[in-house]
Amino acid sequence: MFYHDDKLQYPVEVEEPDPLFAKMLQEAIGGVEGEMRVCLQYMFQAFGVPDEHEEYRKLLMETAVEEIGHIEMLATAVAKNLEGAPTELRDQMSQDGAVNAAMSGMMPRQYLSSGLNAMPVDANGAPFNASYVVASGNLAADMYANVMAESTGRLLAARLWEMTDDPGMKDMLSYLVARDAMHQNQWLEALHSLGDADDPFDHLPVPNTFPEEEMPDEFDYSFMSTTRDGEEYEAPWTQGPSVDGNEEFSFLSELDLEGAERSISKADPNTHNETK
């Protein structure tokens, strides 16, 4: 169950409305790096966590609901940046046909479809795509996906911070940058907690439940070089202990593989793939 409080999670103030910046903020709502993605990602991950891992379900759901608050903040920021936009656009359109076509850089649908409000779309106007959401059912895999999601989200917020001179927008985005830092740390901490106290990477490789005897030993810790010279080189991923502590990294050139002949059977005649 969810309960709504009629307050924003953090203040959202805009001193100088900027329709173009409103368009940029849409990426933080409905883009692949945006808050809709992490909100739904954490929520669907939480839905699949079994009772024995209740502490992870709580962690995921608490953060998912926090992200709903971020969406609300950003939607408010979009609306505030669009305030007064129609009059400004009419004035510019009457003076310049090119500006008429460009709509002052704003997203036309923010006026035509939502009446100067935020939409569940990205900065190009593409609707939010649920395929952005990662919820594999494997806690370790999902936590790694969450670190990536928060990393790209923080990168986006930092870039948006650089794009504006509005003090209110900088303040709001600084808050989001800070929260993304915390979220990266909490997911990493959760990952470490999945391992042994003395071996925080005990959860690797993901999934770590696949029977080892079924894996060919010569390939599971070998870096494969696909360059034509096949020359071996020294790097942390070509030699030394693996991150999970189970084996030693090694170097393998693709040129040394025996390989296999490509073999595909004749096309089904019902597909009409062949000519007479």
Read off the pLDDT of residues 97-106 as tens digits, 9 standing for 90 and up.
444 544 556 6
> Residue 99: its pLDDT value, please?
46
> Residue 98: its pLDDT value, please?
46
pLDDT band, very low/low/confident/very high, at 87 (cuts 50, 70, 90): low
**How does DSSP classify residue 52?**
G
Q: Is a pLDDT exceeding 90 seen at residue 107?
A: no
pLDDT-above-90 percentage for the chain: 64
Find residue 223's DSSP bridge partners.
251
pTM exceeds 0.85, yes or no: yes
Parallel, antiparallel, or unpaired for β 222-225 and 250-253?
Answer: parallel
Q: What are the tens digits of pLDDT across the range 199-258?
A: 888 888 999 899 988 988 888 999 999 998 888 999 999 999 999 888 999 999 998 888
Q: Is a pLDDT exceeding 90 seen at residue 176?
A: yes
> Residue 77: its pLDDT value, please?
97
| CATH for 19-194, options being 1.20.1260.10, 1.10.3720.10, 3.40.50.300, 1.20.120.420 | 1.20.1260.10
CB-neighbour burial class of residue 159 (10 A; exposed 0-12, middle 13-18, buried 19+): middle
Mean pLDDT for 176-201 is 92
Tell me how far apart the alpha carbons of residues 205 and 271 are, in angstroms, rounded to a whole number. 41
Contact 42, 64 (CB under 8 A): yes
What integer best gives the mean pLDDT of the chain?
90
